Chains A and B, each alone.
Chain A
Amino acid sequence: MKDPIRIEGLSVRYRRATACADVSLVVPPGAVYALLGRNGAGKSSLVRCLLGQQKPSTGQARLFGENSWTTRCAAMARIGVVPEEPDAPPALSARTLSDFCRRIYPRWDSGAVSERLRRFEVPAATPFGKLSKGQRGQVMLALALGHSPELLVLDDPTLGLDAVARRSLFEEIVGELADRGTTVFLTTHDLAGFEGIATQVGILKDGKLAVDEDAEALKSRFRRIRYSNRLTETRTAFGTELDEFDALRVKVRGWGIDAIVSNFDEKAFERFRATDGVDDATAEALPLEEIFLAVAGETKAGEEKGGRP
């Protein structure tokens, strides 16, 4: 089976500004790929190119093995999309929109769409433009799932949703994954919500894909290391001994060193802890959000320092 998503050397430029630069990634069947990035990192441009809505400046995006720009129409029959901004025609109701989709999708389950809308408590006859933001997002999700897509693309789907709407969204996605093993590609700010769902993580920074790997592997190599601030005869400086762990961020605080490293290894850490003056060092796992902040908001080790040296 061909990979649902394969992006090869994709760049998007707007005049002098570069939104994406030489991005390559693969999403295998059944994966849940979470693409993270700060505002303006190029996520939406990447998604538009992926969906064949915008032509990349260079490179290409492939959906199920076909170029998404040239074969958009055919690919969309297998894909469900929930955009960042719900973009359905505002004068049409959810029922009319479902009726429209019924005419263009070979397999459309109007009953399932109605059932989801009922579950979300979205009025089916109200014009889309008059629904709340959360309801609009729920309509978009219901429409995206109406034809049982093989690939679900979600562009920051929880943006602006309240806690209840977010929860129902997660439940639908988890349910969809459990029922059909649908491949999911999503961009999000809501790292906590997708932490348990994502199987792969990509982080866009300044248009470049800084991280692209399995979620568990990613979490296993990031750690927060803390140890007290004691100089000894053999230890004459703070923090530089962390180079072995590829420290992304090192803070020198009054009580000691607080660092986030991206190349953690248990054996190396044991050796490090045997170093004179850092024998109280501890290493703790990081949530995805912390990893994202460390990577996307990354500063060079030693740049950010607090307290006394």
Chain B
Amino acid sequence: MKGFLAVARREVHERRFVFAAAAFASVFPFVMPLFLGWKRGDAPEVRSLMATVLGVGFVLALAVGLGMSMLAPSMANRRIGFDLARPVSSLALWYGHLAATFLIAALAGAIIAVPAWLAGLRIPWSDILVEGRPPRLTWALATLVFLILVAAAHAASVMLRSRSALIALDAALALAAGLVLAGSLSRLPTFFAYEARGRAIWGFAFAAGLGLLAAGFASVARGRTDIRAAHRALSGTLWTSIAIGLAGVIAWTSWVLGAGPRDLESGFWVSPARAGSWALLQGRARGTSATFLYDTATGRFERAKVFEWMRPAISRDGKHAAWVGPQSQGGPLEVLSMSLSSPDRDPVGKPVPTRIFLPSYPSLFALSADGSRLATLGDGLLSIHDLVGSRTLASARIDTERSSIRGFFDGNDRFRVYRQPDAGVGKAHLEILELDVPTKRLSRTGELERDSGSLFLSWDGAGERLITLPEGWLIDGRTGAVLTRLVASTSDVARGTAFLADGRIVLTESSSEGHRLLVFGPDGTSQRTIPLPPGRWSVLGGEVTPGRVVVAVSDGSVYTSHLVDVDRGTVRKLADGLSPAARLNGNLSYDAPPALGSDATKLFVASDGRLLRLDPDTGARTPLLGGDPSAARTP
């Protein structure tokens, strides 16, 4: 410690001319506006700016200048022998010089800033350095960056002064390291793992920075009066540190991108396909957002390169999925399709580029029932694409300004659009449009004046009939004509509704007066009212067998699932703490309601976030994700 302090003190003493230079520079903010003829009103601002630029520039210039001159020249001309011939350790020599350099720069910065501050000029240090982070952390970070800059300048000075051929190897290694780093980091944005990339960059910068500080020390400790040996020691330490940093980045990148469904944090979002065994999972895995297509039957999965708000679509037959995203950093948005079951056109479980490119992310992205066609709506253009032939079949302009849009395929040749301008609370006008693919014509087929501004439409899977919520109107899917009003409009009742496979309608009502399930015939005539267990609200799960529906009732925090027989009017408790993964009353264009008896009707999410399969008849549970990790192992 004595050596460290003595070296630092001597270095400051030796470089005291810097303070005179700083004092000279501190006058500039006051004098320059006079010469440059700024208006009186602008002068304080100009002075503040000049003081800030001078202060920061002076400190940065000192970092480089002092870093290059503090030790390397005396190592090259062996004047360092004076210190080495004394009981001063290499550690004290290196860090004593570093500390002195920091002290000199800090004092010089203060000499420039203090007169301006005393004169009432505002030095926006906090704007430059803090940027919303805690000031202490920011100043600590600024100190570290300064010291690393000094160490980097020292490293450059040693390399140049050694006049060794090793510098060519340094340049080659720097280039290689840059390429490896860029290559590794560029993998993360393709999965939108920007946060993970930020951490990787910081981690690498930290490793490289520490490497530079350690390399500077190594150059003094192992080089001493031999500048070439110093260069060898410096390069060895620096590139070892950088190699470790790169290995860390590569390992981190692989770890982040190697996440599977079992790595999803609790509370991930599940959307099972209407048919088949695949489900869409979305949540955070290994610190970044992740979207998986996951086969609940086999555990096979594929991580989709999509933004978290741009979910893949699964066809209603459950055999195909498609999504859109860039396949490389900065690359164009391309539609990818994937076969989920039989390899009818693509290999199963492997995304295939379709060569269909989109200019921007679409606000609507829907697959036809058989997955062969895709509808996209972006920049006011509705387009129908043929995924098999990789071509666009029809396009039409739709006014999407301040409007909510829903849509689905009515067969393969028609796409129906429900457009409702955002009207806030109260009355709203729903417009129904249809794009005919063979004729490429967009026509208006119907409209509806609604009581509500929200566009929540429950549909029957075919699109013939819809139910609007919260009004509870049964409407013709094509014309918007109100077929019947299932319940009276009221604002203090929470409702959910769905179509059963045979066309009947079920509707849950939750209010302060109670909780019940209403059953209607296909034409909307009331058939039965079934009281439900008490709760604050309920969701409709799948139709397990004809007439038997899963209803989960929540007490505000935990769901209890029940099996309701709408024919007999009975309610049987299935399980505490479970809610159905698939929602029969799913909103149009987000979740197609699960098919009768499909796998989706048997998937449940536990209150602790686990995904499991529950047999409603036997009560047998099969854990899938969360809980026992082996259950989600990849095949």
Contacts and interface: CB of A to CB of B under 8 A. Distances in A.
Contact of B14 (A52, A77, A79, A89): A89
A100 B3 CA distance: 9
Q: Max chain B CB contacts within 10 Å: which of A76, A81, A104?
A: A104
Given A48-B225, A54-B224, A54-B226, A72 B6 contact: no
Contacts of B88: 73, 76, 104
Interface in A69-88: 72-74, 76-77, 79, 81, 83, 85, 87-88
Nearest to A86: B82
A83 B82 CA distance: 8
B226 A104 contact: no
A100 B226 contact: no
A91 B80 CA distance: 14
Nearest to B91: A73
Interface string A41-77: 0000000100111110000000000000000111011
A76 B93 CA distance: 14
Contacts of B82: 83, 87-89
Contacts of A54: 224-226, 229
Contacts of A72: 84
Contacts of A91: 14
Nearest to B15: A91
B237 to A, nearest CB: 16
A119 interface: no
Contacts of A48: 81, 225
A255 interface: no
A92 interface: yes
Which residue, B2, B81, B89, B225, has most C-beta atoms of chain A within 10 A?
A: B81
Contact of A83 (B3, B85, B90): B85
Residue from B9, B10, B13 whose CB has the most chain A CB atoms within 10 Å = B10
Q: Which of B78, B85, B229 has the most CB of A within 10 A?
A: B85
A169 to B, nearest CB: 18
A103 B5 contact: yes
Contacts of A100: 6, 9-10
Contact of B85 (A74, A76, A89): A76
A96 interface: yes
**Which of B79, B84, B88 neighbours the largest number of chain A CB atoms within 10 Å of its CB?**
B84
A104 B85 contact: no
A100 B6 CA distance: 6
Contact of B229 (A55, A73, A77): A55
B86 A96 contact: no
B75 to A, nearest CB: 10
A126 to B, nearest CB: 15
B81 A105 contact: no
Contacts of A104: 2-3, 6, 86-88
A79 B79 CA distance: 18
A101 interface: yes
Contact of B89 (A51, A73, A103): A73
Contacts of B222: 55
A53 B84 contact: yes
Interface string B60-91: 00000000000000000011111011111110
Nearest to B84: A53
B543 to A, nearest CB: 81
Contacts of A77: 87
B1 to A, nearest CB: 11
B85 A81 contact: yes
A81 B83 CA distance: 11
Contacts of B2: 103-104
Given A88-B82, A89-B14, A105 B87 contact: yes
Contact of A87 (B6, B13, B78): B78
Interface residues of A, number: 26
Contacts of B5: 103
A51 B10 contact: no
Contacts of B89: 73
Contacts of B226: 54-55
A83 B84 contact: no
A51 B84 CA distance: 8
Interface string B77-110: 0111110111111100000000000000000000
Contact of A92 (B14, B81, B84, B86): B14
Given A87-B78, A89-B10, A92-B14, A52 B84 contact: yes
A74 to B, nearest CB: 7
A104 B79 CA distance: 18
A73 B87 contact: yes
Interface string B185-225: 00000000000000000000000000000000000001011
Nearest to A105: B87
Nearest to A75: B87
B85 A51 contact: yes
A53 B224 contact: yes
A74 B222 CA distance: 16
A81 B78 CA distance: 14
Nearest to A101: B86
Contact of B79 (A73, A87, A96, A103): A87
A54 B228 CA distance: 11
Contact of A53 (B6, B14, B85, B87): B85
A74 B225 contact: no
A83 B80 CA distance: 11
Contacts of B9: 100, 103
Interface string B1-30: 011011001100110000000000000000
A87 B89 CA distance: 18
Interface string B268-290: 00000000000000000000000
B10 A76 contact: no
A89 B80 CA distance: 9
Contact of B13 (A55, A76, A92, A101): A92
B81 A83 contact: yes
A74 B87 contact: yes
A74 B86 CA distance: 9
Contacts of A96: 10, 13
Nearest to B88: A104
A76 B85 CA distance: 6
A251 B351 CA distance: 96
Contacts of A83: 81-82, 85
A25 to B, nearest CB: 20
Nearest to A102: B6
Contacts of B14: 89, 91-92
22 contacts: A51-B81, A52-B84, A52-B224, A53-B81, A53-B85, A53-B224, A55-B226, A55-B229, A73-B3, A73-B89, A73-B90, A74-B87, A76-B86, A77-B87, A81-B81, A83-B82, A89-B14, A92-B10, A96-B10, A101-B86, A103-B2, A104-B6
Interface of B: 2-3, 5-6, 9-10, 13-14, 78-82, 84-90, 222, 224-226, 229
Given A85-B78, A104-B6, A104-B87, 10 more contacts: A48-B225, A53-B225, A81-B81, A87-B78, A87-B81, A89-B14, A100-B9, A100-B10, A101-B86, A103-B6
A-B pairs with the 5 shortest C-beta distances? Answer: A81-B85, A103-B6, A77-B87, A87-B79, A87-B82
